[in-house]
Structure 1
Amino acid sequence: MPFHILTGSFVHESNTFKKGETTLQDFRNDVLDLGQAAIDRFGDVNEELAGFLDIGRKAGWQITHTVSAHATPGARVAREAFDHIAGLICDSARQHRHTLDGILLSLHGSMVPTFCEDGEGELLHRLRGIVGPDMPIAVTLDLHAMVTPAMVAAAQIMVSYKTYPHIDMRETGRHAARLLDAMLHGKTRPTTLRTHLPMLDEANAGRTDVPQTAALYTRATQHESEPGILAVSINAGFAEADILEAGPTVLVSYDQNIPSADTRARAIAEGLANTIWAQRDSVSNDFLTPATAAQQARDFDANHGPLVIADYADNPGAGAYGDATALLQALFDAKATGGAFAPMIDPQGAAILHRHNTGDHVTLALGGKQDSSFGGGPLTVTGEIIHLSDGSYTGNGPILGGITHSFGPTAVLRVNGIDILVVTQPAQMLDLMQVRTFGIEPASLRFLVVKSMQHFRAAFEPIAGKVIVCDTGALATPQAHLRPYTRVRRPVWPLDRTGFSRA
């Protein structure tokens, strides 16, 4: 009989400083696909489910896929949303528990519901209550996971991404599935150990285009060729979540059947953790002020491609509101023209623009409506509507290739020589089709503002004449002291500079 494997995906990165809740409708607006619908959408793209299926088909598994649920990073996950999606996975486990041989889940690792601090740990705890303590469970995690002891206790196998920008999701799924298959065949007896660091996140948030950080992931991969070492995962953490177990972790899944593998796993984890700690002040980004970034935009020679300006602090991919106006105001003040700004997440503004026609000139209050203390308040602007759309786009780059998403009702408003992509649904900039679909061609621009920390580099850096990074003071600002932490265990770097036990 083939092994019967239950699969599922429940992914959210929760910014605990953001107002409101991430609702079930937010998941529906992004991804909430059941069973075959999820397989049809994600079965042959750069996504963990595709990796699960790659190995599962080769191994002859019978796969029952429950749900693929993703929402753009945002506020804590509402209890209704968590219980509904977790319930879909748990109900299926309950229905099939007498025939199940294993469970394979794609999670994030930084989901914080409204009723607890550890969404993934809560889901795994509920599953264990259904399938018992011995059922093989393998989990994939985002590189920015905040891995808790409860998560490690509930799953034998954990495998995280090793790239940021994340371009190895499918391979991560394959890795976890291969380890699960070996366990099912009795070839290994995995368990996972965890080492935690007293930091909000790794110095470069896990950037694998930074040599000293990339070297950590190279070491992790090399260690995986050692006897008994099954997976080495370096989780950079997520500084925008204020929970007790916040911070980077190193995980090592190892084979308990191999003598001394536990000792070697501990040495590997401690060695990598010590390097992360030693490099804690080695930040590679040069964070420019909005005024400085705007001056460079105004004066940039785009003969070899546009100046790409990353609005790091207003990254929707870190749960920021995506409506900060500080950089846009600076561009207006500097009289920078010939550029584009993407996106401005403003449902009210998009709705107003959609009451007009292409070519109309409209005056409205744009952006800054969520929390003006982070990144600036609304700007009153007058511009010409260049494009109107339902917001649907299909990516063709390293991260979103072949995957369709939607910004919801979307407009391009040209104001003072800058084309502003005004959208309804939140998303960070990951793919060139997120602008090209709406008539914005980067090759024709002097500058392009993208609301993203790092993921934009996979698609936008190759076409850029130069990339710069701006701190607009929005919710995901690198100035962590501007966020009111109350839950994280202290001392913690960089909020504290003394009192640490780690040498």
Structure 2
Amino acid sequence: MTFTVLTCEFMHESNTFSRYRTDLPQFQVDTLLYGDEAIRARRNANTELAGFIDVADAAGWNVIHAISAHAVPGGRVTKAAYDHIAGVIVEAARANKGRLDGVLLGLHGSMVPDFCDDGEGYLLGLLRAELGADIPVAATLDLHAMVSEDMVRNAQIFVSYKTYPHVDMREAGAHAARILDRTMRGEIAPRTVRAHVPTLDEANSGRTDIPETRALYERARAAEAEGLLAVSVNAAFTGADVSCVGPTVLATYDSRDPFAEVAARRVTEELADKIWQGRTMKRNIFIEIDEATAEALAWRGDRPLVIADYADNPGAGSYGDSTALLEGLLDAGVRGAVLAPMIDPEAARELHRHKEGDTVKVTIGGKGDANFGGGPLTVAGVVAKLSEGTYLGDGPIQGGLTHSFGPTAVINVEGIEVLVVSEAQQMVDLQQLRAFGIEPTARRILVLKSMQHFRAAFEPIAGKVIVCDTGALATPRAERRRYVRAPRPLWPLDKDFERLIRPASLSNAL
């Protein structure tokens, strides 16, 4: 039997503390592709859609792909952008609902539009209202999803990434598609239960390259091997002040199995309790700017010292234009360094008025919010490279995908090469430097605006990695951000949590 399946990708991680908004042009810069064009562009890369198509081809599905829409993390998604993208998806469902056998969605799980707290829950509600209760709906989620009760109510199947850095997008897509295929064939009747943990995120933000957190995902895989259809541990996102904030554990099970629901609830509660018990066990050591500059000055290794600017990570919706660390490096006299990226379209335009080799004075950075990571910094340097900003990734995360920084310039400021870009991207791929004339293995110091994803491509070439809190918008000091909508008490904002609520009541599996 040939099944007809509606697919789409609609992904954004929304930082509600950002002064900016994410509108349709931000999706167009990253990914906004329709129908077969999206399949052609994303079929052979590490994407959820590629995983969907892997299974669809093998199973003989008829795939109706509505849209692939992805924007770099930033401020809330505007209603206009949301309505356009969600409208394409819902209209495809409406036009084909008489012949649809299933729906398969690539979502993030932490999208916050202007008009509600829960972009994914709202979309799933629209689809369920259009298609009725009987059509099976499956969704993939980012490991940093915030999963609401509405989401679980309106979809039967959930599969989240199990890696951070995220390198298993295609695998997650194929996993969800296989469950959906079995559902449409009548072999199983999946449902999902949810347990929530009242913390801002996992203690280590879901890092799967360290034993403490990796154990959670190993337990999830073991539960799947024991018979559950999918177990997902979602680390949540600290940059969203919303009612559904916090980590969750999901277990998708076959409701026809008389023992499966009990097993699903048991594992979600077990893993939720482990997250709670491990909330103070942080692996990252966040050093101050003066410590980072001292390490940079002293570095004599034969491979680069990587300094992760954790707090100014564009991948967490930070502005990507903090200047405090650059100023510290310049004041200390650090040489042979690269800082990337400095997201400043105004400065990029100014540099593009010159030619390569010119000595110029330009003011860069600090335009997002000087209270988070420093204000604008005026520097003098030599324009080393001018580019329109396009690169083709070749690493574990972006391999095979074309991205653009927009108009881009490299300016050498007193021995520090600064990659000044127009469009937000965090550092995840070596081609983000090589495409602009910078060979990362030949530099002493690499200062990368990224929390964790940089490790997939850059850690293998690094002599040492250190993590710096520059005080930018994604600072690990959550108390610097004003949470209003997040339910309280909430760890670590409320240190007397255990006096206010009994830990035994943490899990609220649905």
Same fold (TM over 0.5): yes
Deviation, structure 1 residue 158: 0.3
Q: Secondary structure at the match of 1:386?
A: strand
> After superposition, what is the alpha-carbon deviation per residue over 1:430-466, rounded to whole angstroms, capped at 9, x for unaligned?
1000011101111111100000000000000000010
**Residue identity opposite 2:403 in structure 1:** H
What does residue 307 of structure 1 align with?
A: 305
**Residue identity opposite 1:41 in structure 2:** A
| Alignment partner of 1:188 is 2:188 | yes
Q: Secondary structure at the match of 2:315?
A: helix
> After superposition, what is the alpha-carbon deviation per residue over 1:75-103, rounded to whole angstroms, capped at 9, x for unaligned?
00000000000000000000001010000
What does residue 291 of structure 2 align with?
A: 292
**Residue identity opposite 1:118 in structure 2:** D
Deviation, structure 1 residue 501: 2.2
| Alignment partner of 1:464 is 2:462 | yes
Distance (Å, rounded) in 1 between the aligned partners of 2:68 and 2:321: 28
> After superposition, what is the alpha-carbon deviation per residue over 1:350-393, rounded to whole angstroms, capped at 9, x for unaligned?
00000110001110111001100000001110010000000000
**Residue identity opposite 2:338 in structure 1:** A
**Residue identity opposite 1:244 in structure 2:** S
Alignment of 1:193-342 (within 5 A): 193-227=193-227, 229-303=228-302, 305-342=303-340
> After superposition, what is the alpha-carbon deviation per residue over 1:16-57, rounded to whole angstroms, capped at 9, x for unaligned?
000121001111111100011111111011000000000000
> After superposition, what is the alpha-carbon deviation per residue over 1:398-447, rounded to whole angstroms, capped at 9, x for unaligned?
00111000000000000010000000000000100001110111111110
Alignment of 1:320-469 (within 5 A): 320-469=318-467
**Residue identity opposite 2:385 in structure 1:** H
Distance (Å, rounded) in 2 between the aligned partners of 1:384 and 1:302: 27
> After superposition, what is the alpha-carbon deviation per residue over 1:261-304, rounded to whole angstroms, capped at 9, x for unaligned?
1111111000011111110000000101111101111111131x
Q: Which runs of 5 or more residues in structure 2 are unaligned?
A: 505-510
Work out the percentage of aligned pairs sharing the same amino acid: 58
Distance (Å, rounded) in 1 between the aligned partners of 2:149 and 2:107: 16
Distance (Å, rounded) in 1 between the aligned partners of 2:115 and 2:20: 14
Deviation, structure 1 residue 500: 2.7
What does residue 507 of structure 2 align with?
A: none
What does residue 75 of structure 1 align with?
A: 75
Distance (Å, rounded) in 2 between the aligned partners of 1:175 and 1:443: 36
Q: Secondary structure at the match of 1:16?
A: coil
> After superposition, what is the alpha-carbon deviation per residue over 1:141-169, rounded to whole angstroms, capped at 9, x for unaligned?
00000000000000000000000000000
> After superposition, what is the alpha-carbon deviation per residue over 1:88-126, rounded to whole angstroms, capped at 9, x for unaligned?
000000000101000000000000000000000011111
Q: Secondary structure at the match of 1:224?
A: helix
Distance (Å, rounded) in 2 between the aligned partners of 1:408 and 1:222: 44
Alignment of 1:121-160 (within 5 A): 121-160=121-160
What does residue 162 of structure 1 align with?
A: 162
Distance (Å, rounded) in 1 between the aligned partners of 2:297 and 2:444: 8
Distance (Å, rounded) in 2 between the aligned partners of 1:50 and 1:199: 33
Contact kept in structure 2, 1:308 and 1:450, CA below 8 Å: yes
Q: Which aligned runs of 4 or more in structure 1 are off by greater than 3 angstroms?
A: none
Contact kept in structure 2, 1:302 and 1:445, CA below 8 Å: no
Q: Secondary structure at the match of 2:112?
A: coil
| Alignment partner of 1:487 is 2:488 | no
Distance (Å, rounded) in 2 between the aligned partners of 1:389 and 1:244: 42
**Residue identity opposite 2:247 in structure 1:** P
Distance (Å, rounded) in 2 between the aligned partners of 1:310 and 1:459: 13
**Residue identity opposite 1:99 in structure 2:** R
What is the TM-score normalised by the length of structure 1? 0.99
Distance (Å, rounded) in 1 between the aligned partners of 2:252 and 2:299: 49
Q: Secondary structure at the match of 1:92?
A: helix
Deviation, structure 1 residue 346: 0.3
Distance (Å, rounded) in 1 between the aligned partners of 2:407 and 2:254: 51
What does residue 503 of structure 2 align with?
A: 502
Deviation, structure 1 residue 134: 1.3
What does residue 33 of structure 2 align with?
A: 33
Distance (Å, rounded) in 2 between the aligned partners of 1:410 and 1:428: 14
Distance (Å, rounded) in 1 between the aligned partners of 2:85 and 2:435: 31
**Residue identity opposite 2:327 in structure 1:** Q
- Matched length: 501
What does residue 3 of structure 2 align with?
A: 3
Deviation, structure 1 residue 139: 0.1
Q: Which runs of 5 or more residues in structure 1 are unaligned?
A: none
**Residue identity opposite 2:116 in structure 1:** C
**Residue identity opposite 1:250 in structure 2:** V
Distance (Å, rounded) in 1 between the aligned partners of 2:264 and 2:503: 19
Q: Secondary structure at the match of 2:503?
A: coil
CA RMSD of aligned residues (A): 0.6
Distance (Å, rounded) in 2 between the aligned partners of 1:253 and 1:27: 31
**Residue identity opposite 2:34 in structure 1:** L
Distance (Å, rounded) in 1 between the aligned partners of 2:234 and 2:267: 14
What is the TM-score normalised by the length of structure 2? 0.98
Distance (Å, rounded) in 2 between the aligned partners of 1:443 and 1:178: 41
Distance (Å, rounded) in 1 between the aligned partners of 2:306 and 2:80: 39
Distance (Å, rounded) in 2 between the aligned partners of 1:386 and 1:20: 30
Deviation, structure 1 residue 210: 1.3
Deviation, structure 1 residue 486: 0.5
Distance (Å, rounded) in 1 between the aligned partners of 2:274 and 2:91: 43
